[in-house]
Structure 1
Amino acid sequence: MAKMIRTNEHSINPHFKPTLNHFSRRLAVLISITTALPHPDAPKSILEYHLLSNQLLDDLARHYHQVWPPVPETFEYPKVIPAWVGTDFEQSIDIATKRRRFGRFIGLQGCESPVQSSFGILGYSQEDSNGQGGNFDVAGKMEREWQEALRRAMMENDSDFLLQPKGGGV
């Protein structure tokens, strides 16, 4: 009679613990510029982020001022994302695109989009899989360029900055 090889029925898949650790990682909750409060349903873990619904992603975008047309508060956050709320194609944006954009907004890695730009100057994004194209983020691009120019001007006019050693020297 052939001997049966018995497998351990209680063995754990080697991917289980790393996956569990990944999904249970805590997220820092972002607060609103205007209220200084987080959205009550903001994701607190990677798992909660992956479970965000269409409606909740729209609510989060509104709460954190990531809307079209942009409002002054839009540019007060560390990251500005292409808006879908308030655009002509708002109803046709798929949940994966919304989730990826929001993930980029809160600083998650791996949420970048394959971006093709027309001439590379206006920030025109065609990342949406619905073929409708993205939106023009001209105001955001102008704001970032202005802030960068101000930083450069401040550094050029700061004599203490000019006297600081370069390259870690004394």
Structure 2
Amino acid sequence: MATKKDQLAARIAHLKLRLAPLVPLPTGSPHPDFPKTLLDYHLLTEEQLDGIASYYHQSTPSIWTHQYPACMNWDKEMLAKRRASVAQHLRRASQVESNAWWEELLAAEEEEHKVVVVGGKRRPSVQFAEGLTDGERVAIKRRKLGKFIGLMNCETPVEEIEGRLRASMEKAIRLAQEELRRAEEWELRLSKMA
């Protein structure tokens, strides 16, 4: 049985693992803040993570974005510091005739997913509609960088995907409700003119 001292020594040795620097495309030297060790990776600030994503063409898509072995899928709106709605890319929700179905679906989803079970552990799901906390946002950015540079166990967690889907549905409902309200106001104006 390993002692606490042995466990600490193993953890320190793990954090000392050296990381191979990634060269940006088309040419150049690695980003100055590119982590040299696993410990450096865990100590990156949000500004450094943003700088690295930009330096490697991940925060603003270009011809080089998908030429790397992995892509960060850096969603600027979701990862913004401001608390805002998430999916700017949603289509207009005018095609939704009745939003009662959506509201019932959301209510059922919220009730079912207040706590997410992952790997036998219960934890709350990430709430994207309300905006991310600073810790959640930095953790997601760090995970995206880890996946980008080839670190293990940096896959997108299920609760993050669920949270983004839920936020997208909530925004679609809000847009549909707003458009329905505008259409009703317009019809009311037309009926008053007649």
Q: How would you bin the TM-score normalised by the shorter chain? A: 0.5 to 0.7
Structure 2 counterpart of 1:143: none
1:17 CA displacement: 1.1
Structure 1 counterpart of 2:161: 126
Name the TM-score, length of structure 2 as normaliser: 0.51
Name the TM-score, length of structure 1 as normaliser: 0.58
Q: Distance in 2 between matches of 1:13 and 1:35?
A: 44
Asked which structure has the greater RCO (Cα within 8 Å, sep 6+), the reply is 2
The answer to whether 1:45 aligns with 2:37 is: yes
Structure with the bigger percentage of helix? 2
1:35 CA displacement: 3.5
Structure 2 counterpart of 1:30: 22
CA contact (8 A) 1:97 1:128 kept: no
CA contact (8 A) 1:113 1:127 kept: no
Q: Which amino acid aligns with 1:126?
A: I
Structure 1 counterpart of 2:51: 59
Tell me the alpha carbon deviations over residues 89-130 of structure 1, each in whole angstroms, 9 at most, x when there is no partner. Answer: 5225510000001000000001111248xxxxxxxx73667x
1:82 CA displacement: 1.4
Q: Distance in 2 between matches of 1:79 and 1:42?
A: 16
Structure 2 regions of 5+ residues with no counterpart? 82-130, 169-194
Structure 1 regions of 5+ residues with no counterpart? 1-10, 117-124, 134-170
Which structure 1 residue ranges, 4+ long, deviate > 6 Å from structure 2?
Answer: none
Structure with the bigger percentage of strand? 2
Q: 2:65 aligns with which of 54, 74, 81?
A: 74
CA contact (8 A) 1:24 1:47 kept: yes
> Share of identical aligned residues, percent?
37
Aligned positions, number: 113
Q: Distance in 1 between matches of 2:4 and 2:29?
A: 41
1:71 CA displacement: 1.0
Q: CA RMSD in A?
A: 2.7
Q: Which amino acid aligns with 1:62?
A: S
CA contact (8 A) 2:18 2:38 kept: yes
The answer to whether 1:83 aligns with 2:83 is: no
1:75 CA displacement: 1.0
Q: Distance in 2 between matches of 1:57 and 1:127?
A: 24
1:88 CA displacement: 5.8
